[in-house]
Structure 1
């Protein structure tokens, strides 16, 4: 049963986007190809692909991004991090992505490696500096040129240089692990905006008020770029606890308990779909500019949420769990 939301049509349908990570095995790569095909059926605004700390998944990330670019009409978005990368290396990497036709980026400071090694940030100290570098590299690749001025014989002017289509950054409704307080989060987002970011995507959250209150503080503080709510519809209590270890964002006890006592996978899927659909519906009804879904490389959970929200195009209303 669909959740009641304001009606949409083809011209005003809510923008949706997804996050994927590079596959670790050949079998996972084949499954990911099927997932990408299913996700593109809902005509997302973009699909982002993560990038491991220090470039640990660089080649596989570029492979996935290139697949999206060459085989779909969806815009691929490359993740970039400051962790373990010098400005020279980041410059080279941005050029590599641009040369491959990737023109949208998610600029991140990055998290410490999972093996516990201390966080190493190179000469790029913040996501704001990385945003500046992305724009600078694009400008260097496209020098100023001249163009004719219509109606003025012989007249010329400087031709505008193209800019990356999207340079997104992260936002943290409940604060980053290293944050000293709520105002620091707003100041950091303002700095990213001033550096040229034109979109923010939030870390996952479990309560609509967390996102809505953050957006209200950001607007009051001068942030004007869109802030997309990021939601991960996980249907496993162990996975939710693992996510909490990585993000310091705890899932509600009632959700964890409900998933733990439900004996069937189908029942757990229904619990998660209901919870995350209602969460998404609440932020959409309050004016969220779109919806960014963390997929964990599975199309079924996110498409079930979109189906519950009645946000699937008619062409995508097939058997969602086919080849899940």
Structure 2
């Protein structure tokens, strides 16, 4: 195919709590997987403006899609969207604690307006990430935890998403692991997300580091409460984790333990063959998944070992890869 020839493409959109990732790949007709035609994809990402309104977010998303399309020589036939918010069957956002201004938004209509004429499908980001990781690992029975701004998750059993379409998503981040744990963004105490998410870990790390450098004698309390310092920058946590600084190891280990509890509990009920840990936050901390696996081994009971835990094959791009799978199905 000549380099200048138009190429039909599909668009994947991964809408996260703090950023959006976009990628256009050739469709099956013009160079998709297995076609033998080598056409390079194009991709980009941009951060959300903190506390912006839904109209501002949608304007930024529209601009991001338009800029990426300008780099693609050809039409788009389908769009797949990975979304962390709860969207009802009519396509309307019912809740998204990370972007509360989106509540009530006609999400389906907004996504269709991004690429007029293209077929559009959307699904939970954790469910899509699980499907993408199951395909990458060639594993039909898999549990996925995506640890980033929140904690997403998904289940694939016998090669199919669980729960089945039309029955909600696998909200692993909102599994209760402690009746008296930290407060989650959903308002409850003790969700996996309340301990294991990136922001929760960064806040604890700030409190633990402050406690080790305090010039006055203060109790070395556990989970920081009201008036806690802002979270440390991720780069500093990563450096502290790699240097095995006590404050960083303590904060991250609490997160990996929460993830391990989720893996062990799901193994007891569903018996997946593999557990995968991904998401931007976990992917950025070398050894995070291995630490989850180590703690899961400790929590296993005799004769009933938990599923082995490994890092996501697709790293922090699992949800985006799942969105592209969804686009190809819609194409």
How high is the TM-score relative to the length of structure 1? 0.34
Q: Which has the higher strand share?
A: 2
